[in-house]
Amino acid sequence: MELCIHDRGSGSRAAPSAEDPYTKSYCDLGVHQSMLRDRERCQWYRNAIEQVLKERPGMVVLDVGTGTGLLAMFAARAGARKVYAVESSRMASLAQMNVFDNGMSDIVDVLHSRIEDVKLPEKVDLIVSEWMGHYLLHESMIDSVIFARDNFLKEEGTMLPSSARILLAPVSAERVWRDKVEFWSDPEETWGLTLHAVHPVAVEQMVSSPMIVRVDETDVIELPQVLWECDMYKITPAEVRKIAKSMTFAVNQTMRGACIWFEVSEDSSNSVLDTSPSKPETHWKQTLGKCVDVMDALINNDGAVMFPEEVLPSFLPSGKVSCVTEMSRVHGTRQYNLMIDLKPVPEERKDS
């Protein structure tokens, strides 16, 4: 069933002639409901917008990907002189209605268009956008925000968020393992019947591809390291096509993969939206990355990627694991291939 929107008041402008699958997906109200229910997300944006506009009231604001119009209306309520709210999906009409119903039509101008096709009558003081996807870059909306910055932001303008970074840490993923794998061997879950045949398939599915899950803080077995970071005032599209980094972690217990999450910041106030396992859950959750090319000796009989305590001295004499992570954008799509390659770090030779 397609979303049917009826006009009310002054309609949104310049509707695109067609919607690609990504744009069309944002007509699903469930997507917007999950974002509105994410209190960490909404409170961070509301507080950051209010702080920026408190310091510089009367700003002209551009909201890239306004959706329901939430951030645009936050800006209007906080004292913006004008807000241009750009939305490429047909949610633009609903955003226009929401703006009208909140008495903000004189401040917020909803534009039904891709940001790349928009023509604004003036430069803006502030660009705000909730562009982040899973593991930060999923959906590749950052390209549109970069375009908006290069074409519409004043020289001394503000980006919100103003910086971002991706973090990675090795995890035991005990809860996920119990839920996704051990479930099939638990007679209480399988109504007293034996479903062991499913077990190896469950293992394969868990270790063969990334999963978007909530990882428990207690399952993080080593301090995280920064995989990638960017300054939103300087980042270019070329810099987000491919990300690769090698890191080394100390491992002294069972490891079933690597957990990835992100942070974004409003640097002038040191305000951070943190999606880590140690913080309240957000709709982004975390990404449990797949692990490939692991030495056979480090894979137990169930096929799970592990470094059990009993094999650590033999196969991890250094007690360290090399983690090479690569994110590469799939050509012509908004998706990324995510690869995590784990290998034991050889023990350092000591001169005799």
pLDDT score recorded for residue 19: 63
SS3 call for 8: coil
8 Å CB contact between 230 and 263:
no
Q: State the catalytic residue, choosing from 19, 50, 122, 130.
A: 130
Q: From the first residue on, what is the mean pLDDT of each consecutive set of 10 residues in the chain (352 residues)?
A: 35 50 71 92 97 96 97 98 96 95 98 96 98 90 96 97 96 86 90 89 77 93 96 96 93 83 90 97 90 41 43 50 89 83 73 56
Asked if 130 is an active-site residue, the reply is: yes
Residues ≥6 apart with Cβ < 8 Å to 219: 171, 172, 173, 174, 175, 176, 259, 277
8 Å CB contact between 207 and 304:
yes
pLDDT score recorded for residue 301: 42
Asked if 2 is an active-site residue, the reply is: no
pTM: 0.85
pLDDT score recorded for residue 26: 63
Q: State the catalytic residue, choosing from 50, 116, 139, 266.
A: 139
Token reading at 151: 């074409």
Task: For each of the domains in the chain, give its residue range(s) and CATH number, in order of start.
Answer: 21-130 (3.40.50.150), 165-344 (2.70.160.11)
